């Protein structure tokens, strides 16, 4: 190495350094528990080095995009940090995607290797068949451990004989992670993140989220999504907290784990918090250890915030608002503000500036609604292979979120809606969130999604799809009457349907795109 490389290594603050430093501070402390087996920080760090050497032996090098298609498991965590030590770009793939959508990500990312959970290998094979191409494929045993034809066991990588420390010389602009946007409205975009962006984001989460090394955290949402991976698991590993990892968000298993492990910290999107509150075990399990709860990914109904405050009075509640491109945190609403500023997304996080601007990108005064824009080192460097969308998103030196919001006089942000979720009906603007909040307060309503569909007279008609609480009997007419009582006439839905479940992606976000497609012709 020349002198400059020695200096860069001595000053290194890469994603691949994170576990090594935690292991140096607290080698024997439990870092990760999965399916009853635990790793200390020293054991996890050593596993990462072995895997990095194993990946290098398979030809993985700096800049390679490696696709991970898997539910949560220990191997996912090890590989993510091993790839970072090589300067490769971890590219998680949503395990709920079909073969066609998986093929799109493999092709768009230019992935050179696919590592998939055994139960998902068939999806990977089908995706590669669509692309008419092949690549090295490694299978993670998660189910019965069977090895699909054409795949190698991931143990070839994990159990490599060489376990020496691995470090790769990276610049500040070299990406280590590519997260695909959730694609609730269109084709997902590849959002490239650097180590600097991730560390800046972890710092914001830790400081404004009051995170500490003595926490015991339960991680149940998918690690392919930035919320669980980069707001909670990675900051916990950075701090030296203990992480309990589940492969799915099963309410009964989550409530059992909180009691069994003395879990102190939990993140859930609103849909999962609602499922926990409605589960019969909620009132029979000892949940007294839980002192920090976090929500995000979608808007939390104020009625649920009030219910959580009443049923878990010792739990401090935080709202983390952001998006994939922010790695993902933008603003945070702290516990002391939950009831005082009901419905707010909070104030900009430590390393974030936020504005609300008009259609000409000029800042708006307090109280006026416009697009929410950010400046932050959290931000992605670009949308991969999409310079036009990158240029548009970063126009004027601010990142344009696509959300509509307003600030109050105290500097708290309120998200009104996604730009594309604002319904224009009969010449009036209706925020779908406002209608959802009103309907959710009906005592029989468990979930609701509101959106606009084409209408011959009103151009767009407010439409609501409702899921009822178990054992309740409200009818469509009942919900209609409730809306007429609690909403202005033009805001009340012109079409209501009751269904068993709403379409969601694996991170808990409602897929309104699917609902719009399903109900697009209901007035034709």
Domain ranges of the chain: 41-170, 195-418, 426-519
pLDDT of residue 422: 75
Residues 352-364: pLDDT tens digits?
999 999 989 999 9
pLDDT number for residue 394: 98
How does pLDDT run across 394-422, given as a tens digit for each residue?
999 999 998 889 999 999 999 887 766 77
| Distance between CA atoms of residues 348 and 136, nearest Å | 43
- Which of 509, 208, 180 shows the shortest CA–CA distance to 332? 208
- 14-27 average pLDDT score: 98
Number of C-beta neighbours around residue 409 at 10 A: 7
Any idea which architecture 41-170 has in CATH? 3-Layer(aba) Sandwich (3.40)
Q: Is the pLDDT of residue 184 over 60?
A: no
d(CA 67, CA 91): 5
Phi, psi of 337 (to 5 degrees): -105, 0
* Length in residues, the chain: 524
Mean pLDDT to the nearest integer, 91-106:
91
For 30, the enclosing helix (H) or strand (E) is strand 30-34
How does residue 96 score in pLDDT terms, banded at 50, 70 and 90?
Answer: confident
CATH number, domain 195-418, options 1.10.260.40, 3.40.50.720, 3.40.50.12780, 3.40.225.10: 3.40.50.12780
CA distance 381 to 287: 41
Q: Kindly list the distances between the CA atom of residue 265 and the CA atoms of 144, 170, 254, 336, in Å, as whole numbers in the listed order.
A: 32, 34, 12, 17
Considering Cα of 155, then 158, then 164, then 170, what sign does the dihedral take?
A: positive
With a cut of 90, say whether residue 117 has pLDDT above it: yes
DSSP 231: I
Residues with Cβ within 8 Å of 147's Cβ and at least 6 positions away in sequence, in order, are 118, 139, 153
pLDDT, one tens digit per residue, over 311-339 is 999 999 999 999 999 999 999 999 999 99
158-163 LR contacts (CB < 8 Å, sep 24+): 158/47, 158/50, 158/51, 158/54, 158/75, 158/78, 159/50, 159/54, 160/50, 160/51, 160/53, 160/54, 160/57, 162/50, 162/53, 162/54, 162/57, 163/46, 163/49, 163/50, 163/53
Averaged pLDDT, 291-319: 89
The CATH superfamily of 426-519 is ANL, C-terminal domain (3.30.300.30)
Same fold, 195-418 and 426-519: no
Three-state secondary-structure class, residue 429? strand
User: Maximum distance among all alpha carbons in the chain?
Assistant: 76
**Cβ-Cβ contacts under 8 Å for 443 (sequence gap 6 or more):** 469, 472
User: CA-to-CA distance for 463 and 512, rounded, in angstroms?
Assistant: 11
CA pair distance 316, 257, nearest whole angstrom: 19
| DSSP structural state of residue 469 | P
pLDDT in tens, 441-465: 999 999 999 999 988 777 789 999 9
Neighbouring C-beta atoms of residue 412, cutoff 10 Å: 18
């Amino acid at each position: 190495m020349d002198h400059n490389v020695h200096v860069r290594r001595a000053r290194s603050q890469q994603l691949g350094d994170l576990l090594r430093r935690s292991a140096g501070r607290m080698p024997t402390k439990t870092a990760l528990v999965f399916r009853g087996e635990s790793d200390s920080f020293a054991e996890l760090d050593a596993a990462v080095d072995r895997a990095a050497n194993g990946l290098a032996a398979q030809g993985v090098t700096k800049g390679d995009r490696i696709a991970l298609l898997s539910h949560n498991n220990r191997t996912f965590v090890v590989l993510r940090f091993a790839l970072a030590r090589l300067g490769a770009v971890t590219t998680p793939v949503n395990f709920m995607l079909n073969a066609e959508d998986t093929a799109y990500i493999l092709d768009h990312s230019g992935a050179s290797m696919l590592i998939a959970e055994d139960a998902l290998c068939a999806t990977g094979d089908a995706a590669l068949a669509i692309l008419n191409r092949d690549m090295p494929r490694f299978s993670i045993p998660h189910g019965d451990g069977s090895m699909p034809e054409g795949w190698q066991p991931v143990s070839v990588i994990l159990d490599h004989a060489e376990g020496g420390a691995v470090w790769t010389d990276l610049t500040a602009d070299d990406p280590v992670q590519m997260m695909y946007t959730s694609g609730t409205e269109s084709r997902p975009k590849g959002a490239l993140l650097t180590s600097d962006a991730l560390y800046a984001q972890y710092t914001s989460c830790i400081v404004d989220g009051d995170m500490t090394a003595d926490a015991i955290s339960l991680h149940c949402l998918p690690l392919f999504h930035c919320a669980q991976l980069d707001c909670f698991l990675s900051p916990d590993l950075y701090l030296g907290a203990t992480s309990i990892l589940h492969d799915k968000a099963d309410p009964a298993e989550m409530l059992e784990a909180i009691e069994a492990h003395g879990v102190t910290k939990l993140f859930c999107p609103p849909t999962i918090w609602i499922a926990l509150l409605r589960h019969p075990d909620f009132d029979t399990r000892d949940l007294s250890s839980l002192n920090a709860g976090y929500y995000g990914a979608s808007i939390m109904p104020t009625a649920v915030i009030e219910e959580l405050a009443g049923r878990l009075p010792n739990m401090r509640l935080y709202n983390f608002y952001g998006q994939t491109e922010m790695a993902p945190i933008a603003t945070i609403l702290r516990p002391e503000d939950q009831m005082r500023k009901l419905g707010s997304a909070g104030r900009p996080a430590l390393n974030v500036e936020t504005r609300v601007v008009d259609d000409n990108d000029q800042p708006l005064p307090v109280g006026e609604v416009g697009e929410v824009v950010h400046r932050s080192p959290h931000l992605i460097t670009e949308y991969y292979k999409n310079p036009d969308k990158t240029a548009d998103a970063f126009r004027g030196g601010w990142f344009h979120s696509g959300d509509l919001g307003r600030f109050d006089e105290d500097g708290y942000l309120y998200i009104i809606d996604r730009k594309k979720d604002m319904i224009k009906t009969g010449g009036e603007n209706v925020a779908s969130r406002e209608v959802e909040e009103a309907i959710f307060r009906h005592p029989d309503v468990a979930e609701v999604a509101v959106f606009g569909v084409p209408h011959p007279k009103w151009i767009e008609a407010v439409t609501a799809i409702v899921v009822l609480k178990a054992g309740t009997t409200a009818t469509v007419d009942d919900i209609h009457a409730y809306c007429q009582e609690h909403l202005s006439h033009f805001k009340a839905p012109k079409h209501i349907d009751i269904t068993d479940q709403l379409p969601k992606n694996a991170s808990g976000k409602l897929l309104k795109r699917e609902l719009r497609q399903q109900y697009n012709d209901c007035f034709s």
